[in-house]
Amino acid sequence: MLAVILLAAYLLGSIPFGLIVGHIWARIDIRRHGSGNIGMTNVMRTVGYVPGVLTLILDAGKGALAVFLARAVSDDPMVWLACGACAIAGHNWSIFLRFQGGKGVATTAGVFLGVAPYIALALFCVFLAVVVTTRYVSLGSIIAAATLPIWLMLFKFPWQALALGTLISVVTVVRHRSNIGRLLTGTEHRFGQKSR
């Protein structure tokens, strides 16, 4: 049963909502525009705020739904977090996109909304503070992801959760390596700046 739930979580996470929204909203392949990413930020810059927010909700929703599915069959928070990690992996390496995908930020937020909403709130506060200060969404995502293991330690999660959370954190930061390069060279887009 656990293997089935983990597979279901991966497949759920693999649904490329940004690609779907971009196609329905503007009849485009979002991967061929802007940064080429299928996440909220590129959809928002390329297609508009409403489809961008819709992508955010759907990507976060699939992470939360994966956790709720796990909670329906298990009382073990580690099972919930494992299913959430599978959903994040699905988003990052979607079977529907030949194992390409996004960066997993919104899906991770949805996962922790389902596992531990107070950690999701803490991550959001870090993200928001960085974005308001710098107007770099990518920097907010990177710093928020980097703090995930800290929040897990502060809220006294077991070492297994800390290990999995650290893996999620590292993967998220690594997935932003192109953004890190642009941040270092001063060519990263700021929030509200349209893609060309």
Q: Quick one: tokens of 74?
A: 């298990």
**Residue spans of the chain under pLDDT 50:** 196
φ, ψ (nearest 5 deg) of residue 178: -70, -35
pLDDT at 40: 94
pLDDT at 2: 86
Q: Is 94 helix (H, G, I), strand (E, B) or coil?
A: strand
Q: Which helix (H) or strand (E) holds 115?
A: helix 105-115
- pTM, to two decimals: 0.94
Q: Is 102 exposed, middle or buried (0-12, 13-18, 19+ CB in 10 A)?
A: buried
Separation of alpha carbons 171 and 146, rounded Å: 10
φ, ψ (nearest 5 deg) of residue 150: -65, -45
